[in-house]
Structure 1
Amino acid sequence: MVFGLIALLLAGPGLAQDKGLDNKRKQKELEQQRKKKEEEIKLTKKLLNQTEKEKKKSLNQLHLLNKQIRMRESLIQTVNQEIEGIDGQIFTKRDDIDALLADLEVRKKEYADMVYLAYKNKRVFDPLTFVLSASSFHQAARRIEFLRSLSASRTLQMELIRQTQKDLENELAQLERIRNEKSSLLSKKEEEKTELEEDKKEENQIVGSLKSKEKELKKELKAKRKAAKKLDDAIARIIREEIERARKEEEARLKKAGKTEKKGTELAMTPEAVALSASFTANKGKLPWPVEKGFIIRSFGEHRHPTLPNVKTVNNGIDIVTTDGSNARAVFQGEVRAIFNVPGMQNAVMINHGEFFTVYTHLETVLVKKGDKVTTKQNLGKVYKDPDDGKSIVHFELWQGNVKQNPETWIYSK
């Protein structure tokens, strides 16, 4: 019976502990996700508050607010998952407590039976007489060992009772902690739901304000399309020039080496450029962001205009809103191949990374010059702040040769 109790004490909790550790790991992951989303919302609120005094409603504000709404909805979903996990923990803890209470009652009863049996036998059974009445020394030794086992069993049973009581107290304390955590999360959820409703009201107000300015929006859209076209043409022209320059350099190198010339429109590359391209490709999905802090408010590709009906816009890169005074930074090592200005897009910097090119636009100032070798995360220039809506937005493009890429698939996913 004693060994059975020991096995129950050691084996039983082990299975529960494994399950408990899995639940704790899952809850920890959800908690980390929630804290990360809370930090992101804090940043969007800061970016929105930077222009709180601005009376003019803008598309940038609408995009940023949309981003905040999506993040808040995601945060509420994460909180709901945390609450579900905590409900599961509470259910498990109650089962554990019930099992410990039942186990404690069994152990107390077994101990009481032991004490009663010992008392009852003591009246008709004297331990000393029991040992001395043995027919041989071997039998006497076995009787002494038996008496010791009885005493050890009672001691062990008392220890098991104390341990069970201690485990029960710990489980009750953990249950109280978990209940308090659930209460805190429920309050957080209600707070976020209230904030979400306020965000949606503000979104509706901005949409209404912008819809009343359809002519102004169309004029603004036309100007932006014109600027984007000029930027696209400039990038394509510079890349063609780079391809031609690289072709001539390769032609000269091959001629000097006595080898056959290579024809084609692809970017000819030196062994160093090939290695750089391979390194750049190997870091797809892991490149740092072109700004230290920020959010993508306009993604790559074709999109429906948020307020103008039957109007679509095309973005050849991504637009990232960042904090005032932020610098654009290189996403990878390379060489500055062009610095140019596009009306409506401000200053632009193009960096070559082997067969890849990255372009950073909407810069107020530029800290590098053509021909500079730059390192990963090196500052390139201060991001321009739009005086109309107070937003600092960097436009970032990534090209492989003369083919546009979706930058979002190349940079680190938040």
Structure 2
Amino acid sequence: MKFLKVVFFIIAVFVAVDVHAQSSAELKRRRDKLSDELEQLNKDYQETAQNKRATLKQLSLLKAQINLREEKINIINSEVRNLDNQISESNNTVHSLQNQLDQLKKEYAAMVLFAYRNQSAYNKLMFIFASKDFNQAYKRLKYLQQFGTYRERQAGYIQGTQKDLHIKINELDKTKQEKSTLLADQQKEKETLGKEKNNQVKVVSDLSQHQGQLKQQQREVQAKIAKTNREIASTIRREIEEARRRAEAEAKEAARIAAAKAKAENRPVPVAATKPAAPRSESSALNATPEAAKLSNDFLGNRGRLPWPVANGVITQGFGVYTTPEGIRSESTGVDIRTNPGSSVRAVFDGTVVRVVDVSGTYLVMIVHGEYFTVYANLRSVSVARGQKVTTKQSLGTVATDSSTGETVVHFEVYKVKDPNNPKIWLAPN
């Protein structure tokens, strides 16, 4: 029975270690990916830094580097916490295995002592012949045989436990070394982050010497954002009204058919036929048809699993209120995703294109998915038209590259009716 407990304990330990290994492997994968992205950003920055005059592109690249490096430091913190948990569990396992080994050795020593005291053939024969009857003599003979087998098995348990203890001690040493390496990497990243923030301050200072040009560019950006927001709001309002009109028309037609049928059958006209119900809320209007309701449910069911609007990219500006390095307070109703020049912009889910419009030189595409909307802005060209049905990952066009910053960024938003959602919670982990 003790042996089974030992086996189950060891199995439980290795299962727990496997779960930690999976979590640690995912964190390491994300850390390595961020390292690759930071390396590429650093190359881009070094190219722009050769220009003696500070540029918006330098500032943009530094901002992206700082965001990614802070994310990498957070991931390292998570990895260190994981390793601390593993170290704690390993220490507990080592302690338990040592206690089990001590207990096994005590039991084995007692058996060896008993065997030594009864090692002569005469004592064994006397033990058997002292039986009351044949059955008892047979049982005593079997006992002596089983005792020898059990002693051998206990010796095997001791060797196995010693081996497991040695493995766990080695794993513990390896985990401690890994933690030490991570802490050194974390310190290095913090030092680099400090340098990047200092460079950011310097670039902002250099740019401030050209405030006129900078403010003009900022006004243009803010004007484009405002125009984009107006286009989105007006499109959503229009879609809600059109959905409501369609629902009302369908309700009236259904009421007319019901009234005609009642009249033909010489029955009273139903109340619903005299006062057809119309959708009461904006959400119910957008979900008035079974097709739209199903699309809404399917879209919601894929929360956290939607493909990214570009095949490769990194978020450089998140969702919500933020302050730019120049001290300007702003709010983003979506995310900016930096990608490669000429990249294709893709639909993240099945739906219908409801808006394609030029916004200050670049295109904006809106798609409706039941009561949800997705927005794709800063496209250089488009390959879809209003009213066209699209499928997941279908190309909508190509992303534009900003001539003033040299950045290739697509702006992506998600709405539930009129409310903007954080796109990051909808997209699959990158």
Superposition TM-score tier, normalisation by shorter sequence: 0.7 to 0.9
Match of 2:87 in 1: 87
How many Å separate the matches in 1 of 2:279 and 2:136? Answer: 100
Q: Deviations over 1:28-81 (max 9, x none)?
A: 424433333332343343345345412345443233122212212212212321
Displacement after TM superposition at 1:264 (Å): 9.0
The letter for the 2-side match of 1:366 is V
Judge conservation of contact 1:290–1:329 (CA < 8 Å) in 2.
yes
Query: Residue type of the partner of 2:365?
Result: V
Distance of 2:352 and 2:191 partners within structure 1: 48
Alpha-carbon separation, structure 1, partners of 2:16 and 2:229: 51
CA–CA separation in structure 1 for the residues paired with 2:160 and 2:13: 21
Deviations 1:104-151 (A, max 9, x none): 5324422331332123x54x5462x775687xxx71342232023123
1:388 to 1:175, Cα distance in 2 relative to 1, 3 A: farther
Alignment of 1:17-96 (within 5 A): 17-18=11-12, 21-22=15-16, 24-55=18-49, 56=55, 57-96=57-96
Equivalent AA in structure 2 for residue 226 of structure 1: A
Q: 1:273 to 1:152 in 2, by over 3 A?
A: closer
Q: Return 193-202 or 26-35, whichever deviates more.
A: 26-35
Structure 1 Cα separation of the partners of residues 384 and 337 of structure 2? 21
Q: Match for 1:111: what amino acid?
A: M
Q: Deviations over 1:273-298 (max 9, x none)?
A: 34433433444444333223333322
Deviation at 1:16, TM superposition (A): 5.9
Tell me which residue corresponds to 1:144.
138
Q: Which amino acid in structure 1 is aligned with residue 292 of structure 2?
A: A
Contact 2:101 2:161 in 1 (8 A): no
Decide whether aligned partners of structure 1 residues 78 and 253 sit closer, same or farther in structure 2, where only a CA change above 3 A counts: closer
1:238 and 2:232 correspond: no
- Whether contact under 8 Å (2:319, 2:423) holds in the other structure is yes
Cα distance, 1:160 vs structure 2: 0.6
Q: For 2:47, what is the secondary structure of its paired residue? A: coil
Taking the TM superposition and a 5 Å limit, the aligned residue runs for 1:4-403 are 7-12=1-6, 14-15=8-9, 17-18=11-12, 21-22=15-16, 24-55=18-49, 56=55, 57-119=57-119, 121-122=120-121, 125=123, 127=125, 139-214=133-208, 215=211, 216-246=213-243, 249-250=246-247, 253=250, 256-257=253-254, 258=256, 266=282, 269-308=288-327, 311-343=328-360, 346-403=362-419
Length, aligned pairs only: 399
Measured after TM superposition, the shift of residue 361 of structure 1 is: 0.8
In 2, the alpha carbon distance for the partners of 1:234 and 1:131 equals: 101
User: Residue 307 of structure 2 aligns to which amino acid in structure 1?
Assistant: P
Deviation at 1:12, TM superposition (A): 4.6
Q: 1:172: how far off?
A: 0.3
Question: Bigger CA drift: 87-96 or 334-343?
Answer: 87-96
- Contact 1:48–1:64 (8 Å) recurs in 2: no
Partners of 1:169 and 1:281 lie apart in 2 by: 51
Shift of 1:301: 3.2
Structure 2 SS opposite 1:290: coil
Asked if the contact 1:100–1:168 (Cα under 8 Å) also holds between the matched residues in 2, the reply is no
Please tell me whether the aligned partners of residues 321 and 394 of structure 1 are also in contact (alpha carbons under 8 angstroms).
Answer: yes
Matching residue's letter, 1:62: L
Matches of 1:167 and 1:303, distance apart in 2: 57
Task: Kindly state the Cα deviation for residue 231 of structure 1 after the two structures are TM-superposed.
Answer: 1.7
Counterparts in 2 of 1:390 and 1:167: CA distance versus 1, 3 Å? farther
The structure whose RCO (Cα within 8 Å, separation 6+) is larger is 1
Q: Separation in 2 of the partners of 1:399 and 1:133?
A: 91
Letter in 2 for 1:339: V
Preserved CA contact (<8 Å) 1:357 1:400: yes
Mind listing any 5+ residue stretches in structure 2 that lack a counterpart? Answer: 50-54, 257-272
**Does the CA-based 8 Å contact 2:295-2:370 persist in structure 1?**
yes
Deviation for aligned residue 1:324: 3.9
Q: TM-score, normalised by structure 1?
A: 0.83
Q: What runs of 5+ residues in structure 1 fail to find an aligned partner?
A: 1-6
Give runs of ≥4 in structure 1 deviating > 6 Å.
Answer: none
